[in-house]
Structure 1
């Protein structure tokens, strides 16, 4: 005779914890803020996504009002932009923009790092007046100094010269770089610098091997912002360049011709011109976040 089987009672369901009203209210507020943040993020990305989608349409489909989302996709606008049909090619303008932006950014970093060091770690006398002087150089509208700069470039034979843009972009971005790097270098421990000096390190060694590695996120953030400002600059490049030193934003204006507005080709050109800045931001995004948040939490 077999023994009777004993079945275990089913496990009791664990009751869900009841949150207090304050916690439920905080959770609903957090969910609402998250939803608002997602909507705002999509709102900022929507124009760029719309531009990319329009660049993949044919000109008749891109010119419809309202635009057709179900239209077939094509790369004809990009082929036309890069001169596949025998038209002008944008490569010289892209190379000019890249050269002016990179060289001016490197020159800004070389000049701004010692200046920020003198204003944050080894502070000079009346350093606040010096900081205000750097800030005051940004108070003059750019267009107000355009005529004397044009006359100077004309009399010195530097019109349509890429090195003139390098000098202008350096002077334009240097005050911003000094202000940013001064706040970044203020968080560098002075004891480390003093220890390096005790070991016999000179100023250039301290800047290159001690200060620069510690403030690398801030330097990367400064370099990225200077690169973006130089790449997107239009006024100086439009007035002071012609054919040889023409930059990408100036070439982008030429897409709008007297023959009409080719919307798909214009969007394709805008996407291509925006790619270097997006690539630089993506490559340095971790350093950019660290640099912009450096010193924010004490």
Structure 2
């Protein structure tokens, strides 16, 4: 080792202290992350425990943690005493969420491609227009949408929810997909164009595989927003096209609030979103972190 290299290298005790400091800071950050995760998970765990209690045990103040467990709340959710099945609302929510998410992806990917890889003129104005559509409160557009749906004969129709959810989630999907597609190397696209690949071939065989984490993140966000939407589904649907959140509000009646039954219903309604998030968690984290580090 030369004298110049030795002079530039920090002493070994100093390097050891730096490594130790990095390890301690990493341990502290890991502990903080675990604490934050437990804090966010605690309400769900408490709701799950309450759903497994009887109504008398769930209504105690403070709630009894050591009370006996029962599945009566889940039996009530599936209509053990009322005979009302939750499957039609669940199927309606699943249909509206999946179809609208598919339409959002089919529309957002080409739009994001035009705004990022093949930028259109004044693309910033286009992006601002998409963002401005999210500034209007949903309740402000409720009456016009209701009147249009009534005149078109589309009240209590699942197709109306698909159209609404697609239009509501499309702006945020375009914003997300543009940031993801901006990370796609343009050299690959130029090589494909030279080889004679068309737009559809480039989007399906090159852009989609490279931006798969971003597409998965966008799809999951759109699915969650569609599944959880309540305002328009509550006003624009009835018996035929009622969704799972609307069905969930029916458990709060004038007879009182039955905590065990409501918690069991909330667990069942939120289960598809939890399963989708758990199945795509690696893609979601990878997709949401694209573009964070340059």
Fold conserved between structures, TM > 0.5: yes
Aligned residues: 282
Q: For residues 258 and 70 of structure 1, what CA distance do their matches in structure 2 show? A: 30
Task: Indicate the residue corresponding to 1:269 in structure 2.
Answer: 265
The corresponding residue for 1:292 is: 288
Q: Which residue of 2 aligns with 1:120?
A: 116
Structure 1 stretches lacking a partner, 5+ long: 1-16
CA distance in 2, matches of 1:287, 1:58: 39
For the pair 1:43 / 2:39, whether they are aligned, the reply is yes
Rate the CA distance shift 1:25–1:79 in 2: closer, same or farther, 3 A. same
Query: Does 2:59 match 1:54?
Result: no
Is the aligned partner of 1:214 residue 2:214? no
Q: Deviations over 1:32-52 (max 9, x none)?
A: 433333222211110000000
Cα displacement string for residues 159-185 of structure 1 (whole angstroms, at most 9, x for unaligned residues): 000000000000000000000000100
Aligned to 1:14: none
The superposition leaves residues 136-172 of structure 1 with CA deviations (integer Å, 9 ceiling, x where unpaired) of: 1101111111100000001110000000000000000
**Within-5 A mapping of 1:96-135:** 96-135=92-131
**TM-score, length of structure 1 as denominator length:** 0.91
The 1-side partners of 2:122 and 2:15 are apart by 57
Match of 1:153 among 141, 149, 165: 149
What's 2:9 paired with? Answer: none
With 187-196 and 96-105 compared, the bigger mean Cα shift is at: 187-196
Report the counterpart of residue 226 of structure 2 in structure 1: 230
Aligned to 2:83: 87
Among residues 168, 174, 177, which one is paired with 1:178 in the alignment?
174
Q: d(CA) in 1 for partners of 2:229 and 2:114? A: 29
Q: CA offsets, 1:83-104, max 9 Å, x none?
A: 1224311100000000000000
How big is the shift at 1:259?
A: 1.3
3-state SS of paired residue (1:149): helix
Tell me how far apart the structure 1 counterparts of residues 197 and 222 of structure 2 sit (CA, whole Å): 30
- Separation in structure 1 between the aligned mates of residue 28 and residue 181 of structure 2, nearest angstrom: 38
Is the partner of 2:183 in helix, strand or coil? coil
Q: Deviations over 1:116-144 (max 9, x none)?
A: 00000000000111111110110111111
What does the per-residue CA deviation read over 1:226-255, in whole Å, with 9 as the maximum and x for residues that have no partner? 000000000000110011000000000001
Residue 163 (structure 2) pairs with residue 167 (structure 1): yes
More helix by share: 2
What is the rounded CA distance, in whole Å, between the counterparts of 1:29 and 1:193 in structure 2?
42
The residue that corresponds to 2:3 in the other structure is none
1:136 to 132, 135, 156: 132
CA RMSD, 1 decimal: 1.7
- With normalisation by structure 2, the TM-score equals 0.92
Q: CA deviation at 1:258?
A: 1.3
Which of these residues, 196, 202, 205, is aligned with residue 200 of structure 1? 196
Unaligned runs of 5+ in 2: 1-12
**Offset at 1:289?**
1.2
